[in-house]
Amino acid sequence: MIHRHSMAMGVVGIGVLLGGAPNAAAQAVVDGGGPTSYPAPAWMEQLLPDPNDPRVKEYAEQQRVRKETERELRRFRKEYFGHGLNMETRQIGLSVLRERYNQPELYPLLLEVFEHDKEDVRFGLLDMFAETGTDEADSTLAWEAVFDGDEDMRDAARERLLARVSEVGEVSNRIKLVVSAGLQQAKNSEVIAAAGIAEVLNLYEMVPLMIAAQVGGSTQGAAGEGTGNLGWIMIAQQQAFV
């Protein structure tokens, strides 16, 4: 639907119902002068995703699965890491977490769900990433080393990341993408963390970004909140619809 709140203001909002009828035409509604509806322009209809497009269906299914997994993870968190539970139960929870949820596509969700837990749980996640030994897990460590809001977590992730790079013998493109994103942020803590990693790993190609950050701050503004960019870096490509 296209909603025009005021002809004078010219504010237009676009919404898409993925599950709508296949032949449903986009409609525009004018508020204020009466409930008048008329078809959207042809050029705008072309921008709307076809609900029968396999990519649209795949994206909708991914979102459904993600929501279900998030609910499952939050129940799991309450069962094993809830307030007042002893250390033995928490250790069992970490073991089950490794067995059940150590999947690259779930890493951003794990960081989100356990974001405010105690250090034993969050450090346990870092250990899981480090021991997994995959590029996706290593890039997650890089993300935490740059973007986590807790200094202790950043230091712990950085320590594990450097150990992994030393073990592998090279810096992957995913890790470089994380460092590059960090150097283009508005927050000094993220820029400093990314610059420190770039220096230790001898990422000389990052020097122009480091200079730009020192001279004029962020070159492109903040890359976004949460772990959305982490999901893109790990999966490499995702189809997005507006």
Angle at which helices 135-147 and 119-132 pack, to 10 degrees? 140
The predicted-structure confidence for 58-100, as pLDDT tens digits, reads as follows 888 888 888 999 999 999 999 999 887 888 999 999 999 999 9
**pLDDT higher than 90, residue 210:** no
Angle at which helices 54-81 and 87-101 pack, to 10 degrees? 160
The predicted-structure confidence for 124-146, as pLDDT tens digits, reads as follows 999 999 999 999 999 999 999 99
The CA distance from 146 to 223, in Å, is 12
The CA distance from 70 to 85, in Å, is 21
Total residues belonging to the chain: 242
Tell me, what's the pLDDT at 236?
46
* Pure H helices in 22-172: 42-45, 54-81, 87-101, 107-113, 119-132, 135-147, 151-168
Sheet with 36-39, side-by-side order of all strands: 12-14, 2-4, 27-30, 36-39
State the virtual CA torsion across 184, 117, 162, 164 in degrees, nearest 10: -120
The CA distance from 168 to 180, in Å, is 20
Which residues have CB under 8 Å from 22's CB, separation 6+? 50, 51, 52
Tell me, what's the pLDDT at 214?
65
First to last CA, the chain: 12
The CA distance from 165 to 217, in Å, is 28
Q: Which residues of 110-134 are buried (b: 16+ CB within 10 A; e: fewer)?
A: bbebbeeeeeebbbbbbebbbebee
Tell me, what's the pLDDT at 60?
86
pLDDT grade, residue 228 (50/70/90)? Answer: low
- 33 in helix, strand or coil? coil
**pLDDT higher than 50, residue 147:** yes
